[in-house]
Chain A
Amino acid sequence: MHGTYEANMAMQDCDVLIAVGARFDDRVIGNPDHFLSKPRKIIHIDIDPASISKRVKIDVPIVGDVKSVLDDMLECYGEVKSDHDKSLVKPWLAQIKEWASKDCMAFEDDGSFIKPQKVIQTLHKVTNGDAFVTSDVGQHQMWAAQYYPFDKPRRWINSGGLGTMGVGLPYAMGCQLAFPDSQVACVTGEASIQMCIQELSTCKQFNLPIKIINLNNRYMGMVRQWQEFFYGNRYAESYMDALPDFVKLAESYGHVGMKIEKSADIEPALKEAFSEKLKEKLVFMDFITDQTENVFPMVPNGKGISEMILAGES
């Protein structure tokens, strides 16, 4: 639903699609009829037979553990004498490059407001892309996925398509307990973080120095985005007029609280939070972000994955 332009176009336009343990959920494939409107071969590897051909008709079902299936496949691939012309893939790669040139992730930032995307980019820079990142659900979750490139497995921990608000903090606690010497960042929103806010007490009890990056836009952002795009700006029950002072709240639990209101302060604040000085402390960083920012690209509900709305198009 919020994948990059080139990723969605490639998934729709390819000839063969290999799904490895994916469940073809509606957030990923959009409208199932539109998904199948471009005929292509779909190969699905999954351990659960009930997931295969559940949402879209699969051409080659393979029931099994992804690990062993892929090992076997690589063995078979090695044995097959292939004389296929490798240059055939060049036009496809060129096409993908052309789609990527749209630069769908670009956002406007004149420094007058804190852009949530900038916070995530800076987080990546400050942590060298090495942190464990957990998140809750909503716009912040999408931005964390889009702007923090991960190159190691099991660093990006969130509820994905299950969309359970409240997991960010407990997930971060689990990571910190398992990897006490690693940097753990919980990217969250002001609505999500309040669902399990009492766990700040558990963090104190077990000395878990996680860094909470609260992207505070004073809205339930994702709900408001849908209301803006599809429901004529009828903002029902998505505003947050009754927020606590998060800095005071974090301090009352014995942690460090920071409130960041200016764009120029993003990097210094993150650097301080992840510094040696605050290595043993949980830091709650309340970023007051631009309220009007939306997540792009977006596949509207019921549309196909190639029918995305891009930034500047709505």
Chain B
Amino acid sequence: MENESGALSRVSGLFSARGYNIESLTVAPTEDPTLSRMTIVTNGSDAVIEQIVKQLNKLLDVVRVLDLNDGKYIERELMLVKVKASNQYQDEMKRISDIFRGRIIDVSDNTFTIEVTGSSSKLDAYLESLDSESIIETVRTGALGLGRGDRILKA
């Protein structure tokens, strides 16, 4: 979509006005500074998804819409997790994080902060593998997607 102020609010306004659910949303400028790329994770029946795509296409700020589910794609999300890591937990924490290829990026007396990237379901699995008592704080970016191979979203 256009990299203009108001574009983001028009898209999210469309979702809220029509009651479509936004599970996650991430947006940033692309290699073309006049354009931004927004990735939205939503859920709904086929009819609802069809309406969402059609309504988005009607917005002036929106240049092109692609439903990644229509073909093969790569999905990635980044998450930072702050966990309790006092003495007896430290080794366990490190072991689980290694399994998920997470990296410990901050250490203090009582906490570790771990960075994990991967598909949203991998991040969900990571959180589930941790003892819920030990999770202090989490923050996620929301999923990004890119079509595989020749599948390109361009203006």
Size band of the B side of the interface?
A: under 10
Q: How far, in whole Å, are A50 and B51 apart by their CA atoms in the complex? A: 6
Q: How far, in whole Å, are A53 and B46 apart by their CA atoms in the complex? A: 11
B50 in the interface, Cβ–Cβ < 8 Å? Answer: yes
A149 in the interface, Cβ–Cβ < 8 Å? Answer: no
Q: How far, in whole Å, are A54 and B54 apart by their CA atoms in the complex? A: 10
Which residues does chain A contribute within 8 Å of B51, judged by CB atoms? 50, 54
CB of A207, distance to nearest CB on chain B (Å): 40
Which residues does chain A contribute within 8 Å of B47, judged by CB atoms? 53, 57
A174 in the interface, Cβ–Cβ < 8 Å? Answer: no
- Say whether chain B's binding surface is mostly helix, strand, loop, or mixed: helix
* Interface residues as binary, B34-58 with A (CB distance below 8 Å gives 1, 0 otherwise): 0000000000000100110011011
A49 in the interface, Cβ–Cβ < 8 Å? Answer: yes
**For residue A52, which residue of chain B has the nearest CB?**
B54
* Interface residues as binary, B136-150 with A (CB distance below 8 Å gives 1, 0 otherwise): 000000000000000
Q: How far, in whole Å, are A53 and B55 apart by their CA atoms in the complex? A: 13
Which residues does chain A contribute within 8 Å of B50, judged by CB atoms? 53
CB of A101, distance to nearest CB on chain B (Å): 40
Interface residues in A77-128 (C-beta closer than 8 Å to B): none
Q: How far, in whole Å, are A54 and B57 apart by their CA atoms in the complex? A: 15
**For residue A51, which residue of chain B has the nearest CB?**
B54
Which residues does chain B contribute within 8 Å of A49, judged by CB atoms? 54, 57
Q: How far, in whole Å, are A95 and B67 apart by their CA atoms in the complex? A: 47
* Interface residues as binary, A49-81 with B (CB distance below 8 Å gives 1, 0 otherwise): 110011001000000000000000000000000
Taking Cβ atoms with an 8 Å cutoff, the residues of A that contact B are 48-50, 53-54, 57
Q: Can you list 12 A-B pairs with a CB-CB distance of less than 8 A?
A: A48-B58, A49-B54, A49-B57, A50-B51, A50-B54, A50-B55, A50-B57, A50-B58, A53-B47, A53-B50, A54-B51, A57-B47
**Apart from the given pairs A49-B57, A53-B50, A54-B51, 5 other A-B contacts in the complex at a CB distance below 8 Å:** A50-B55, A50-B57, A50-B58, A53-B47, A57-B47
